[in-house]
Structure 1
Amino acid sequence: MDFTNRNEHDDLEEKKPNEHGPINETSSDEANGEYRSHKINPTYLSYQGYHELNSAQKDKETYEQSAQESVDSIILEKPTEREPAESRTSKEKSRWVTPLVTALLSAVIVLGSGSYFGFVDLTGILPGGEDGTVKSVETAVAKVDDKDGLQIDETSVSTSDTIKMINKVSPAVVGVVNIQKMSPENYYNYGLPTSEEEGSQNKESGTGSGVIFKKDGDHAYIVTNNHVIEGADSIEVYLANETKVEAKLIGADALTDLAVLEISSENVKEVAEFGDSDKLSVGQEVLAIGNPLGLDFSGSVTQGIISGLQRTVTVSTSAGEWDMDVIQTDAAINPGNSGGALVNLSGQVIGINSMKISSDGVEGIGFAIPSQEAKTIVNDLLADGSVQRAYVGVGLQSIAEIPQYVLERQLKLPADVTNGLVVTQVEAESPAAQAGIEAYDVIVSIDDTEVSSLSEFRKYLYSQTKNGDTVKIKLYRDGVVKTVTVTLTEK
């Protein structure tokens, strides 16, 4: 029989689409849809400003040209026949007055565009009176007294508990930068490198957030998301005071999306306090603190509520599928917030921001790893650098993925059995082999807990058991139901 071989540890490359819309991890890697720093483009803003100024400059030139043409057309007029002296004097006065009015009107028009450019000197040399003297005329600009215009009142400084809490927690939230070494073949090189090292280049692959949870002597420890630092050749941490320090990876767990970093404690001023996520209530106000879209917006704070508790979201990780228990919140969580803090109004971290649903028409659905879930994983990573999980030693595939005729004719599965996992492979000398489990057995429950998917089997095994425990597995073999006892070990 041709079954896709899946081991509960390694053979989980095939991914299923999420029924509720794609789940996006909130780091900003540009290539992978994750934690990528985005900056406001000053060139674009400058171009817009330049474009507006350029249009106004053209308007100014048009007005000046129009004014000049009006004056020129009048000055160039010449009498066609000789007139009496009194009449000529009257017309000469008229000729002086006409361009005077035109020039004044033109000056007003030019003021409309010129003032936009800062042309405020409106002094003009204009024709004078009958004696031919030239007088200087200045245009007065009316000013509004401060008391009659826009008033700015003295602003009171708020000292609310929320602001105090933010000021206390924010210094413990840091920026985490994933640095990866790019090989020469990833670039168009204009010269041949003298060595592989000269041809390589370190590049910021993505940026996320992290929370300082422990300070011990010369070292401080940070919890963040695994997807923020996964694949990094080196890791940089930016503290709240913008100090950059190198970080060491202590351990990471892809399934739960958590990682622990170590940095020097020299510049660490604050350590976050963690609260009990089991005591949360729907509707409780929370704040999300992190670095959305990268370090340009570091320390951003968004506000929301707990929208739901004990949510289960199936995610695909580098270690396989996993049913993650999360807190749902409507506090804005964006790429770059990954690994940041979800904080209650007492200033306690009750979750590690991890992901959100990103889909057209969907807003305000973000998720955080509960502090109680993070505690167990973080302590394991601190102690061993990895999470030690119980091991059975089987490859599994859901019967929902297998044609009905195979279930009936080859596996002889009863028609009323609609959920279960087919054993596609049994590792030699594994706990499953020692318990007598065979290929093509169909597992339907573990310790009386029904399982219909690989993630459900893993969830029970990794969350409810430990090394040395025994579990009872109910299965069908050739249509006959039986129960076997498996003693778990660590791989």
Structure 2
Amino acid sequence: MSDLYKPFDEQINPTPNEEPIKPNPYEKPVEPLKKQKKTGGMKSFLSMVTAGVMGSALTLGAVTYTDVFDFLKTEPQPNAATSTESLSQSELTTSVVPTSNSSNPTASLADVVEDASKAIVGIVNYQNQSNPFSGAQGTVQSGSGSGVIFNVQDDDAYIVTNNHVIEGASEVEVSLYDGEKAKAEVVGADALTDLAVLKIDEKYATHTLKFGDSSGLRPGDQVMAIGNPLGLDLSRTVTQGIVSAIDRNIAVDTSAGKWELSVIQTDAAINPGNSGGALINTSGHVIGINSLKISDSGVEGLGFAIPSNDVVPIINELIEHGKIERPYLGVSLADLQEVPSMYLQSLPESVKGGTIVAQVEPNSAAANAGLKQMDVIVSIDGEEITNSSDLRKYMYTNLNAKDKATLKIYREGQAIEVEVNLANSTSPIN
């Protein structure tokens, strides 16, 4: 992901007189490649870049992304706060409500904000950490963000936030409108869409917000962002602006692979700590979940929110399954443009894009179809593939688990087609 696009999670307890360190799950440090004593061809290169990426990483989605310059990355730790408890969809289904972006003549903006703010919460991410001197384990505040209470059902209040706000947490704490604090349980989370659902005891919820229909938004519509910039000391800060653009596509790197988020652009001021907070219209309906901003010298007023019409189906599925069920291929990939040309000499000159199979998970859909390490995927069902994000996007948009897909690949310079019976990401085929 470009250095410009940054989630707004906030690092807690920075060293005095130093700028806060803002951990960014979307951005990974680029490790310099060490000089190799000998070139072992494509196979040795892919063996190197895939070392340590198999295992739990392969269960994250249909296609696992392997950053060829980050092959020493550490696997994320299990989230001790995560619950996979499933609720019946008929018991709790959130939907969008018809909404108008014109002001309510019976209420001022101050009234709308006052009412909406009661459903905005602060979220603190606690992570396990070892004392470097004693070796003792303890929890420390790792970051903070915002969230929105959107439903109360069966003694539980449900909160939507960004996945990057709670990712890696061993404990999650929610700070309520009245100052109360409550331990939260992670119902489900999805790294690709950067959404997560938490639940707390319903006694803490005094108000919920409804999701408005984001499909009717137009540039120029008035919006307000509510969240906790720079931590809980500035809880429920409100900034005002307009919808700057709709249907923006922002490429991001997540812990589950590359993805392209469809977002609303706004000039309402958004800062670190606003992640997971609400972008509301003048009717007081949530039309977006604040997630990204462009952070660069001389840049102002470029924030992005996940549209409510994209949020609602995701959170419903997270509540029902605890994760997003997607078609599963079972490979690790390295994009063609990231591989040194010396390893691509067998490819025809006409092949300008594609993604290389760096590793195949045993007994996966890919393995059963006969895909092999070093295969170069250039199309799926006749749709050209330029990188792993294209492949993932096509699969998640057009295919379901158990569907068949036809991959065009190059193997040792020869073009062949392979038919794959896709599995389910929650239960890969054996």
TM-score, structure 2 as length reference? 0.73
Change (3 A) 1:416 1:272: same
1:179 and 1:430 mapped to 2: Cα distance?
Answer: 35
In the other structure, the counterpart of 2:310 is 373
2:107 and 2:331 mapped to 1: Cα distance?
Answer: 56
In the other structure, the counterpart of 2:4 is 22
2:361 to 416, 419, 427: 427
CA-CA distance at 1:224 after TM superposition: 0.7
Deviation sequence 1:212-247 (CA, Å, 0-9, x none) = 111013110001111111222222111112121221
CA-CA distance at 1:274 after TM superposition: 0.3
1:378 and 1:160 mapped to 2: Cα distance?
Answer: 30
Is the contact between residue 288 and residue 302 of structure 1 (CA under 8 Å) also seen in structure 2? yes
Amino acid in structure 1 at the alignment position of 2:121: V
1:182 and 1:223 mapped to 2: Cα distance?
Answer: 26
CA-CA distance at 1:477 after TM superposition: 3.1
- 1:387 counterpart SS class: coil
CA-CA distance at 1:407 after TM superposition: 2.6
Amino acid in structure 2 at the alignment position of 1:24: K
Amino acid in structure 2 at the alignment position of 1:183: S
CA-CA distance at 1:438 after TM superposition: 2.9
Per mean C-alpha deviation after superposition, the further-off stretch among 353-362 and 26-35 is: 26-35
Is the contact between residue 226 and residue 279 of structure 2 (CA under 8 Å) also seen in structure 1? yes
CA-CA distance at 1:290 after TM superposition: 0.6
In the other structure, the counterpart of 2:121 is 174
1:225 to 162, 181, 187: 162
CA-CA distance at 1:301 after TM superposition: 0.8
In the other structure, the counterpart of 2:375 is 441
CA-CA distance at 1:33 after TM superposition: 0.7
CA-CA distance at 1:310 after TM superposition: 1.9
1:296 to 233, 236, 241: 233
CA-CA distance at 1:435 after TM superposition: 2.3
2:131 to 184, 198, 201: 184
Q: Among the aligned pairs, what percent are the same residue?
A: 48
CA-CA distance at 1:167 after TM superposition: 2.2
2:219 to 264, 274, 282: 282
Is the contact between residue 323 and residue 456 of structure 1 (CA under 8 Å) also seen in structure 2? no
1:224 and 1:467 mapped to 2: Cα distance?
Answer: 27
2:338 and 2:245 mapped to 1: Cα distance?
Answer: 31
CA-CA distance at 1:389 after TM superposition: 1.8
In the other structure, the counterpart of 1:457 is 391
Gaps of 5+ in 1: 1-16, 36-157, 187-191
Deviation sequence 1:396-433 (CA, Å, 0-9, x none) = 2222223445433xx2x222221111223333322122
TM-score, structure 1 as length reference? 0.64
In the other structure, the counterpart of 1:473 is 407
Is the contact between residue 26 and residue 34 of structure 1 (CA under 8 Å) also seen in structure 2? no
Higher-strand-fraction structure = 2
CA-CA distance at 1:327 after TM superposition: 1.5
In the other structure, the counterpart of 2:55 is none
Is the contact between residue 354 and residue 388 of structure 2 (CA under 8 Å) also seen in structure 1? no
CA-CA distance at 1:436 after TM superposition: 2.9
2:332 to 378, 395, 406: 395
CA-CA distance at 1:34 after TM superposition: 4.6
CA-CA distance at 1:182 after TM superposition: 3.8
In the other structure, the counterpart of 1:330 is 267
1:184 and 1:484 mapped to 2: Cα distance?
Answer: 51
1:395 and 1:307 mapped to 2: Cα distance?
Answer: 37
In the other structure, the counterpart of 1:252 is 189
CA-CA distance at 1:360 after TM superposition: 0.7
Higher-helix-fraction structure = 1
In the other structure, the counterpart of 1:33 is 22
- 2:204 counterpart SS class: coil
2:285 and 2:369 mapped to 1: Cα distance?
Answer: 46
2:330 and 2:167 mapped to 1: Cα distance?
Answer: 26
CA-CA distance at 1:272 after TM superposition: 0.7
1:310 and 1:178 mapped to 2: Cα distance?
Answer: 30
In the other structure, the counterpart of 1:60 is none
Aligned pairs, number: 338
CA-CA distance at 1:461 after TM superposition: 1.9
CA-CA distance at 1:304 after TM superposition: 1.2
Amino acid in structure 1 at the alignment position of 2:361: E
- 2:144 counterpart SS class: strand
CA-CA distance at 1:294 after TM superposition: 1.2
Deviation sequence 1:166-213 (CA, Å, 0-9, x none) = 122111111111123443326xxxxx7xxx8xx555432222100011
Gaps of 5+ in 2: 15-19, 25-104
Is the contact between residue 470 and residue 486 of structure 1 (CA under 8 Å) also seen in structure 2? yes
1:32 and 1:377 mapped to 2: Cα distance?
Answer: 30
- 1:456 counterpart SS class: helix
2:382 and 2:112 mapped to 1: Cα distance?
Answer: 46
Is the contact between residue 25 and residue 34 of structure 1 (CA under 8 Å) also seen in structure 2? no
1:238 and 1:394 mapped to 2: Cα distance?
Answer: 40
2:143 to 183, 186, 206: 206
- Larger relative contact order (CA 8 Å, sep ≥ 6): 2
Change (3 A) 1:219 1:454: same
Change (3 A) 1:341 1:34: farther
2:351 to 417, 423, 426: 417
Is the contact between residue 24 and residue 33 of structure 1 (CA under 8 Å) also seen in structure 2? no
1:235 to 162, 168, 172: 172
1:169 and 1:434 mapped to 2: Cα distance?
Answer: 52
